[in-house]
Copies of this chain bind each other. A is one copy, B any other.
Amino acid sequence: MKPLIGIAGNILLDHDAMNGFPITYTPQGFVKGVQQANAIPVVFPISDPHESKEYMSKVDGLLLAGGQDVSPLLFGEEPSLKLGATYPARDAFEIALVKEALHQAKPIFAVCRGLQLLNVAYGGTLYQDVSDYPALAVQHIQLTHFETGAHTITIDPDSTIGKIFGDQYVVNTYHHQAIKNLADPFKAVAWSTDGLVEAFEAKSSSQSIVAVQWHPELMLSHDVMMQRLFTDFVKRVIKKMT
């Protein structure tokens, strides 16, 4: 039996693409990354947080995808001037999923907003916009085509990320929020050259969590290294299943 991976889905409201009908969706890159790692993906529609236990009990691992800003009300701030669109119901469902995943000891792989959500779920805080970061010097929303890496990250070579990418790599970048204070259970393992956290992992070996700020799912067809993040995730899942 292949492992079953739950991808926490998003909702698209009022868009022409669908004649104005809302849809539940997830970017295809996440689907493909999981499939190519020889696992079975299903998408979770945004649901009542009380369903999180049911959802997590059906799957073997949790993938947190990109999307809206995380609501600042969740880390004790009012919306500042450059906050983007938030979707509090998604925040609530994903925080419940994350807690349930930990409770059931199921591995997590988090991308971009996923990384930010995880940090907030465990008590961390965010810059509501990268321009709030005093040392900002690198472009974090690239205009270059999404399949192409744009800026350099330095990596802790002893981390899971480091074992895949070595101590330096060029990644793509599309985020306007960023980690301010990292939550206690996590350790940073990669940084942009202006000092923002680009990846973190669980400190405790009993938790299997990898979170990255860039978008590996958009680079799959142009950079084979990015698939390894998915393959590594599925390996971590299989290890916990046995």
Q: Which residues of A contact B (CB under 8 A)?
A: 1-2, 4, 6, 9, 11-29, 31, 35, 40-45, 47, 51, 54-55, 58, 71, 73, 78-88, 136-139, 142-146, 148, 150-152, 170, 192-194, 218
Knowing A4-B58, A40-B54, the reply to whether A145 touches B85 (Cβ < 8 A) is: yes
Contacts of A42 in B (CB 8 A): 6, 42-45, 55, 58
B193–A78 touching, CB < 8 Å: yes
B17–A21 touching, CB < 8 Å: no
CB distance from A8 to the nearest CB of B (A): 11
B25–A150 touching, CB < 8 Å: no
Partner of A139, one of B4, B80, B136, B144: B80
A137–B26 touching, CB < 8 Å: no
Q: Considering the complex, give the chain B residue whose CB is closest to the CB of A174.
A: B19
